[in-house]
Chain A
Amino acid sequence: MAQITMIEAITMAHAWELEHDPSVVLLGEDIGINGGVFRATAGLQQRFGSERVQDTPLAEGMIAGMCVGMAAQGLKPVAEIQFMGFIYPAIDQIVNHMSRMRNRTRGRMSCPVVIRTPHGGGIRSPEHHSESVEALFAHIPGIRVVCPSTPARAYGLLLAAIRDPDPVLFLEPVRIYRYAKQEVANDGKALPLDVCFLLREGTDVTIVTWGAMTVETLKAATQLAAEGISAEVIDLATISPIDSEAILESVARTGRLVIVHEAARNCGVGAEIAAIVAEQGLYDLQAPIQRVTGYDTVMPYFKLEHDYLPSVARIVDAVHATFVD
Chain B
Amino acid sequence: MKAVAEFKIHYVQMLDPSGQPVADLPAFAHSRDELVKMYRMMVLARTFDTKAVNLQRTGKLGTYPSCLGHEATHVGAGAALRPEDSFAPVYREIGTQYWRGVRMVETLTYWGGDERGNDFSGPKHDFPWSVPIASQTLHAAGAAMAFKIRREPRCALAYVGDGGTSEGAFYEAINLAGARKLPVVFLVVNNRWAISVPIEQQTACATLAQKAIAAGIPGVQVDGNDIIAVRDTLEQALARGRRGEGPTVVEALTYRLSDHTTADDATRYRQEAEVKAAWKIEPLIRTRAFMAATIGWTDADEQLLKTECAQQVEAAVQEFLAMPKQSSDSMFDYVFANQPVRLTVQKALARRYSGKGSH
Q: Which A residues contact B (CB, under 8 angstroms)?
A: 25, 51-52, 56-57, 59, 61-62, 64-75, 77, 89, 92-93, 96-97, 101-110, 141-142, 144, 164-166, 194, 241-242, 244-245
Contacts and interface: CB of A to CB of B under 8 A. Distances in A.
A176 B128 CA distance: 41
A280 to B, nearest CB: 10
Contacts of B355: none
A144 B118 CA distance: 23
Interface in B314-359: 330, 334-338, 340-343
B189 to A, nearest CB: 20
B132 A96 contact: yes
A241 to B, nearest CB: 4
Contacts of B132: 92, 96-97
Interface in B110-146: 115-116, 118-120, 124-125, 127-128, 130, 132, 135, 137-146
A69 B139 contact: yes
A141 B341 contact: no
Given A110-B337, A242-B342, A72 B139 contact: yes
Interface string B130-168: 101001011111111111110000001000000000001
A227 to B, nearest CB: 37
Given A57-B179, A75-B146, A105-B119, A65 B337 contact: no
B147 A73 contact: yes
Contact of A69 (B146, B330, B342): B146
Contacts of B115: 103-106
B173 A62 contact: yes
Nearest to A60: B172
B98 to A, nearest CB: 18
Given A57-B179, A92-B135, A245-B341, 11 more contacts: A65-B138, A65-B139, A67-B142, A69-B139, A70-B142, A77-B142, A96-B135, A102-B334, A108-B120, A164-B338, A194-B341
B154 to A, nearest CB: 9
A65 B146 contact: no
A66 B143 CA distance: 8
Nearest to B137: A65
B127 A74 contact: no
Contacts of B210: none
Contact of A109 (B127, B140, B179, B330): B127
Nearest to B184: A69
Contacts of B156: 69
Interface centre among B115, B116, B334, B341 (most CB of A within 10 A): B334
Give me the 3 closest cross-chain CB pairs, A-B, nearest first.
Answer: A69-B142, A65-B138, A241-B340
Given A72-B139, A75-B146, A65 B119 contact: no
A106 B119 contact: yes
A244 B337 contact: no
Nearest to B345: A244
Contacts of B343: 241
A165 B141 contact: no
Given A74-B146, A97-B132, A109-B127, A65 B173 contact: yes
A97 B135 contact: yes
B169 A97 contact: no
B119 A57 contact: no
A121 B233 CA distance: 53
A71 B125 CA distance: 11
Contacts of A89: 168
A64 B132 CA distance: 14
Contact of A108 (B119, B135, B176): B119
B86 interface: yes
B119 A72 contact: no
Contacts of A75: 145-146, 149
B142 A65 contact: yes
24 contacts: A25-B149, A52-B149, A61-B169, A62-B138, A65-B135, A65-B169, A69-B156, A70-B143, A70-B145, A71-B142, A72-B142, A73-B86, A73-B142, A103-B335, A105-B115, A106-B116, A106-B118, A107-B119, A107-B334, A108-B118, A144-B336, A164-B338, A165-B338, A241-B342
